[in-house]
Each structure stands twice: as C-alpha cells, then as structure tokens.
A = this chain, B = another copy of it.
Amino acid sequence: MTADLEITRLRESGGKGFEKVFAFLRERLLAGSLRPGDRLIPERDLAAQLGVSRPILREALRALTVLGVVEIRDRVGTIVRRPDLSVLNDFFTFAFAQQSDVIDDVMQARIAIECQAVRLAAERATVSDFEKLQLALSRIVETIDDADSGGVADFEFHRAVVMAGKSETLMVLHDSMSGILMRSHQGRRELLQVFDTMKTYLIEDHRRIFDAIVGRDPEHAERVMREHFAIGDDFRRRAAIGGSRSVSAG
C-alpha cells in the first residue's frame, strides 16, 4: 500500500511536526483516499503511525476542523466531512472585522458571481425558481418603504437569482460575500431612502431582471444585472458624497 511509503516520506520530510501531519492529512483528503464519512483511526494510533505525539496530531485535527474538513466527535472519533459554506462566513467575519476598504473589492466579486449566476438562471431556472423569484419580487414591492426589511428583501431576491443558477459553487461564494456586504451596507441603508427615484430603481430593476430570466435571455439578463449594479453603485456614491448632513436635513 502506498500509505506506508507516504508515512515514511512523512517522517523524513523536514517540516515541523504540525506541518508534517497537516500536510499529510491534507494530501490524503485531497487525493481522495480519505472521503467524507470516513472515520479516522483513533488519535493515539494515528499519532503513533505519523510519528508525532497526540497533542501535535490534535493541533492538526483542530486545524482541519476549523476548515470544516473533519469533525471531531467526543468519544466517537474523527469523521471526514464535506466542508460547507459556514466556514467561509467565519472567515469573512474575521477578515473584514475592522477594515472596510475591502468592501468595494468584495463587491466586484459579488458582481462577478451574480452576473454569471443570472446567466445560468436564465438557462436553468425551473418553474419553482420562477415562483421564488416572483415572491421575492413582491416582497421588495411590499417593503419598499422600510429600510431594514427592504434590504432583506433585496438580498433575498439576489439570493434567489443565484440559487436559480443551480451552481453550488456560485451559491457558496455568493453567500460568503453576502454576509460581509450586508453588514457593511446596513449603516448606509437609511441614506438610500433619501433618494426618491430609488424606489423606482429598486422595483423596476429587479422586475427587469426577473423578466430576463423568465424570458430565457442570458445575454439580456446579464446586461440588466450589470446596469442594476452600476446604478446601485451610483446611488451609493451620491449618498457618500452628499454625506450625513444632507441626509439628516432631509
């Protein structure tokens, strides 16, 4: 079995103990010899096989845990899991806890994701997706006068679009950015209320996106989505320039 060879190579490889073990497990996970659902051998045995002490092995296991790759279950064992997106949210939370200057950059990624997703949505969306989009659309109309729930409705619509695209990867990425973006936009949301043309923008744009998807026109769908983001960006810009003063002045 190749495992023995790998372990031998592992023992000799220079890295610090933790690095060795982490790299070893990583390799195994990536190569597929450890698949989701598998249970690792007991820590004591594994540590012995890898030539490290149990604390070190556990460091590596913990590291994999925060990545969502494995799950350490008390008195049961370490189970290989298929990482879910919740980890990403953790990460983004840490990553952007302080600095807000990355927001615009993350926004670029969100635009990328959604523009691709809306194309796919135009091709792949099912009737069920149409219904969800329709629902989200009506929610936007209903909540048009409320900043908070309006923001949520907006978010839900976009999310529905991405889901209609039927690409898990895009969904995961989108969810990851949404968290941080929502957090950052919450503060500005009231500002947006100021502009009156905004309501039309919110309702009409989303309806156009919806229509494009229903119309099975990827090209058009993306164009509309892009315009939507461009206008939104413009609004934000004006809000930023106008500053809090003019806002409070009404």
Contact = CB atoms under 8 A, between A and B. Distances in A.
A49 to B, nearest CB: 20
Contacts of A59: 55, 58-59, 62
Nearest to A55: B55
A91 B116 contact: no
Contacts of A85: 95
A12 interface: no
Contacts of A172: 95
Interface in A111-159: 111-113, 115-117, 120
B58 A96 contact: no
Interface string A18-40: 10000000100110100110000
A55 B165 CA distance: 44
Interface stretch (A3-11, A98-106, A191-199, A231-239): A98-106
Interface of A: 16, 18, 26, 29-30, 32, 35-36, 55, 58-60, 62-63, 65-69, 74, 82-85, 87-88, 90-91, 93-99, 102, 105-106, 108-109, 111-113, 115-117, 120, 165, 167-170, 172-173
B105 A116 contact: no
A233 to B, nearest CB: 13
Q: Tell me the number of copies of this protein.
A: 2
Given A83-B91, A111-B116, 12 more contacts: A16-B74, A29-B98, A58-B59, A63-B66, A67-B94, A82-B99, A84-B95, A91-B91, A102-B168, A105-B168, A112-B116, A112-B117
Given A108-B170, A116-B112, A87 B91 contact: yes
Nearest to A103: B169
A79 B44 CA distance: 31
Given A30-B93, A83-B95, A95-B83, A109 B63 contact: no
A15 to B, nearest CB: 12
Contact of A66 (B32, B66, B115): B66
Given A62-B59, A117-B112, A30 B94 contact: yes
Contact of A170 (B55, B112, B168): B112
Contacts of A102: 168-169
Contact of A82 (B98, B116, B117): B98
